[in-house]
A = this chain, B = another copy of it.
């Protein structure tokens, strides 16, 4: 009796460790996991118990399971989880959006230096395209949420830091999910500002770029504060 309890307690740790080892092996190779039934038999536990152990790894995104196919290991993307936990929070406390904006501005502005150094021609061209579409849409009175995001995304992707990309993607998603962000601003002015940002970027004029970006965040902040007080 006492032996089985100890045995069970040990097994659950061993089980988790075994899973972690299997993950580390497969992170490089991309090899598939054994099937549930097989693995359960190998490790000497029930399917339910195995699934419970697997569950946190699937929640973290390291293991992805496809019905009818199997389980796979991949680079985890935290943006999904960040958005999942913080979106509900944002729904309950809308003023949190200001805290998010603060962090977003810190990351985007302080990544400009690296972006200027590392950006390649294709990325510059892509940003140029977005600016042209923005100006065209602005002239017609159309919004350009997609192009705006694409512009900034190209900017912070060019830093080459994958984690940074994941974080900022999360913040952009959170912003798009908030109704407070739907306050429309002067389209022509925003499009124009992006044109000047691109210009400063091409000239590698960091301090000018930082100033423009700072302005943009100050505007966004102001619009949110106004929306909160309504």
Contacts and interface: CB of A to CB of B under 8 A. Distances in A.
Chain A interface, DSSP helix/strand/loop, else mixed: helix
B110 A85 contact: no
A76 B82 CA distance: 10
**So how many copies of this chain end up in the complex?**
2
A9 interface: no
Contact of A106 (B75, B85, B93, B106): B106
Interface stretch (A39-47, A56-64, A193-201, A221-229): A56-64
Interface residues of A, number: 40
Interface stretch (A23-31, A121-129, A139-147, A178-186): A23-31
Given A89-B27, A92-B27, A163-B103, A56 B84 contact: yes
Contacts of A61: 85
A107 B103 contact: yes
A206 interface: no
A163 B99 contact: yes
Nearest to A55: B55
Contact of A62 (B23, B75, B85, B106): B85
A91 interface: yes
B102 A161 contact: yes
A6 interface: no
Nearest to A77: B85
A110 B55 CA distance: 37
Interface in A96-145: 96, 99-100, 102-103, 106-107, 109-111, 114
Contacts of A3: none
A162 B59 contact: no
Interface in A158-179: 161-164, 167
Nearest to A26: B92
A82 to B, nearest CB: 5
A88 interface: yes
21 contacts: A27-B88, A55-B55, A55-B59, A56-B59, A59-B81, A60-B84, A75-B89, A78-B81, A78-B82, A78-B85, A81-B81, A81-B85, A82-B82, A96-B163, A99-B162, A99-B164, A100-B163, A103-B164, A106-B111, A106-B164, A167-B167
10 residue pairs, one from A and one from B, having the closest CB atoms: A76-B85, A59-B59, A60-B85, A106-B110, A27-B92, A81-B81, A110-B110, A99-B161, A99-B163, A60-B84
